[in-house]
Amino acid sequence: MADQELQVTPRKEAAPPEPEFTREGTHYSPAVDIYSNEKELVLLADMPGVSSDNVEIDLRENTLTIIGRISEESEKAQYVLAEYCPGNYYRSFRITEIVDQNKITASMSDGVLKLVLPKVEKAVPRKIPISTD
Amino acid sequence: MFRWRIGRDPFWHEFDRLQRGMDDLFGALTGRAGTAVATPFWSQARLFPLVNVKELPDSYLVTAEIPGMKKEDLEINIEGDTLTLKGERKPVDVGETASYHRRERATGLFQRSLTLPGKLDGENVKAIYKDGVLTVSLKKSAAALPKQIEITSD
């Protein structure tokens, strides 16, 4: 994989579910990598142009939603070449009971959001003492 | 025999014009930027990374979306009026016991060259990489700046 030339994958528009967003603007679906090891699931999302204070991560009822907002264009000037159009990012996932929802952590650097979702620790077998009355 | 001269065949000019008109109309309705260039589908760039170039009165601003890169993996060169972006997007080290559920982020080498329409001042180039967006600001050479010509009456 490392020797091939990188190709552009065309950006897919996300279709936000009802209700719609109150602000105008295109929303793209960010490319994500999801991998897991024994203790956690890690999600990496490509959201270039989004700084860490413009990310919203919403978790409710087993649905994890990521929204990344870009700031307005600073230079209002004539485009000579426009191959991509900046837009906000939106993607939503359903997480199962394997994930311990209280311990999810997130970090953002260089336009990549990293979400760490630890798996629920398996119940440790233990003996239950009997009390005599 | 078919003549696949789409784009150069005068027969298709009208369709191309219609397509561009519809793109502009659609772009105007949805508030999309970049309608200055509405390329037909078959000539859209498939190179990585996609770039936007803006022209300011005294410089060019080139922006490219390349998330997840380290500065040492990126190389920017200028030769005359050509800008070259080169680099490698390395995959994240996941450890030996990990397994992927989804893999959408591409990794690998990339190289892209752009020739800008005006002459550049090679000494005055600034590049900033912030939040996954590379912004290169290239000043135009003094000879290329617009000059006002005085009218003298003889």
Give per-residue pLDDT as tens, B61-107.
Answer: 999 999 988 888 899 998 888 999 999 888 888 878 888 888 888 88
Residue B99 lies in a domain: no
Locate the chain A residue with the closest alpha carbon to B55: A78
List the domain range (segments joined by +) for residue B126.
Answer: 45-92+105-142
pLDDT, position A27: 81
Residues B73, B52, single domain; the answer is yes
Q: How close is the nearest chain A Cα to the Cα of B40, in Å?
A: 12
- The per-residue pLDDT for range B37-50, each reduced to its tens digit, is 444 444 444 578 88
Q: Tokens 């003094």 map to which residue?
A: B142
Distance CA B40, CA B16 (A): 7
| Chain B residues with CB-CB distance to A38 below 8 A | 97
In a domain, B115, yes or no: yes
| One domain, residues B126 and B83 | yes
pLDDT of residue A2: 45
Q: Is residue B100 part of a domain?
A: no
Q: What is the CATH number of the domain that holds B74?
A: 2.60.40.790
Q: Is residue B150 part of a domain?
A: no
Chain A nearest-CA residue for B108: A2
pLDDT in tens, A23-69: 666 788 899 999 988 888 999 999 999 998 999 998 888 888 999 98
State how far the Cα of B27 lies from the Cα of B24, in Å rounded to an integer: 5
B50 in the same domain as B38: no
Locate the chain B residue with the closest alpha carbon to A10.
B46
How high is the pLDDT of residue B64? 92
Q: Could you tell me the strand order of the sheet in which A63-68 lies?
A: A27-28, A88-94, A63-68, A55-60
Would you state the structure tokens that stand for residue A104, as one six-digit string? Answer: 């999810």
Residue B122 confidence (pLDDT) above 90: no
The reply to whether B7 and B79 lie within a common domain is: no
Average pLDDT of chain A is 82
**pLDDT surpasses 90 at A114:** yes
Q: How far apart are CA A48 and CA A91, in angstroms?
A: 14
Contact A78 B54 (CB under 8 A): yes
**List of chain A residues whose C-beta atoms are within 8 Å of the C-beta of residue B48:** 5-8
**CA angle B104-B136-B140, nearest 5°?**
150
Picking from B25, B58, B33, B106, the residue whose alpha carbon sits closest to that of residue A76 is: B33
Considering only CB atoms, B36 lies closest to which of A35, A42, A82, namely: A82
Sign of the C-alpha dihedral, residues A64, A25, A20, A51?
A: positive
CA B104, CA A111: separation in Å to the nearest integer? 15
pLDDT at residue B138 greater than cutoff 60: yes
Q: 3-state DSSP call for residue A38?
A: coil
More confident residue, A2 or B30: B30
The beta-carbon neighbor of B36 closest among A50, A79, A86 is A79
pTM score: 0.69
Give the C-alpha distances (Å, rounded to integers) separating A100 from A59, A83, A104, A106, A121.
Answer: 12, 41, 7, 14, 8
Q: Mind listing the pLDDT tens digit for each residue in B73-84? A: 899 998 888 999
* Domains defined along chain A, listed by start: 28-118 (2.60.40.790)
Chain mean pLDDT for chain B? 79
- Candidates B44, B67, B108; nearest CB to A48: B67
Residues of chain A with C-beta less than 8 angstroms from the C-beta of B94: 35, 37, 42
Rounded to whole angstroms, how far apart are CA atoms B138 and B126?
7
Rounded to 5 degrees, φ, ψ at A53 are: -90, 5
The interface predicted TM-score of the complex, written ipTM, equals 0.73
B58 to chain A: which residues are within 8 Å by CB? none
Binary contact (A81, B52; C-beta < 8 A): yes
Alpha carbon of B153: minimum distance to chain A alpha carbons (Å): 36
Where do the H-state alpha helices sit in chain A? none
Count: domains in chain B: 2
> What integer is the mean pLDDT of B108-115?
90
Residues of chain A contacting residue B107, judged by C-beta atoms under 8 Å apart? 1-2, 6
Element (H, E) at A32: strand A32-36
Which residue would you say has higher pLDDT here, A20 or B34? A20
pLDDT exceeds 60 at position B60: yes
Q: What is the pLDDT of residue A43?
A: 93
Is any Cβ of chain B less than 8 angstroms from the Cβ of A83? yes
Which residues, in sequence order, are CB contacts of B42 under 8 Å at separation 6+? B6, B7
The verdict on residue B147 lying in a domain is no
Q: List chain A residues with CB under 8 Å of B32.
A: 26, 85
Yes or no, beta carbons of B106 and A112 under 8 Å apart: no
Q: Are B77 and B151 in contact (CB under 8 A)?
A: no
Residue B72 belongs to some domain of the structure: yes
